[in-house]
Amino acid sequence: MPAQLILVMGVSGTGKSTMAKALAEQLDFTYLDADDFHSEQAKKMMADGQAIDDNIRQAWITRILLFLADEHHSNGRFVLAYSGLKKSQRQRFQLLETALSGIFLHGDSTVIAQRLSLRTEHFFSTTLLDSQFEALELPAENNHENVTLIDINQTIDNIITQAKDFIALQHQTPQRNSA
């Protein structure tokens, strides 16, 4: 079976990590958190309420891609919790030699801000949420990115079911008609 990658994306507070962990467990994939690839400088900046710039962001994405490219040789299967705010950043993952599916979690900014305010053990400052929404380029449905949009205003079980259905659809092989 070829290497597989499922990106679980959205602004901070949409439940990326929770959903990615649940998907990884149910599909028997390895869970990865893109936050683990941030430099200490980037983590400190975000904790201090400073948005990271594109240079820092590109270096971060490069670290993730290099890791995944190395793992490709072992046909790894990963679920990555990753913001994926900009289309150009998401497109970089399409260069990997892997079966790629994307789940983009989205919801009302007020609900997401409330969720973030309840977090205690994360470096991301809630003051940065507005900058994430400003940078956000939502994928269009039926696009060439292999990404589906899922609203977070529902149960985790419903979100997981929608995600798994989309992933299964992405990896179906066309049936040949026998004559």
Write the secondary structure of 30-71 as one string of H (helix), E (strand) and C (coil).
EEEEHHHHCCHHHHHHHHCCCCCCHHHHHHHHHHHHHHHHHH
pLDDT at 124 over 80: no
pLDDT at 177 over 60: no
- Which domains can be identified in the chain, with CATH numbers? 4-170 (3.40.50.300)
pLDDT at 156 over 70: yes
pLDDT score at 20: 96
pLDDT score at 165: 94
Output the six-digit token pair for 68: 């995944």
pLDDT tens readout for residues 61-117: 999 999 998 887 677 899 999 988 888 889 999 888 888 999 999 988 888 877 777
pLDDT score at 121: 63
pLDDT score at 176: 38
pLDDT at 178 over 50: no
Quote the percentage of the chain above a pLDDT of 70. 87
In sequence order, the 6+-apart residues with CB closer than 8 A to the CB of 26 are: 160, 164
pLDDT tens readout for residues 15-45: 899 999 999 999 999 999 998 999 888 888 8
pLDDT-wise least confident of 22-31, 120-129, 160-169? 120-129
Quote the percentage of the chain above a pLDDT of 90. 40
Q: Counting Cβ atoms within 10 Å, is residue 109 exposed (0-12), middle (13-18) or buried (19+)?
A: middle
State pTM to two decimals. 0.84
In which residue are the tokens 């149960």 written? 155
The continuous run of DSSP H or E covering 121 comes out as none
Q: Counting Cβ atoms within 10 Å, is residue 53 exposed (0-12), middle (13-18) or buried (19+)?
A: exposed
Q: Counting Cβ atoms within 10 Å, is residue 56 exposed (0-12), middle (13-18) or buried (19+)?
A: middle
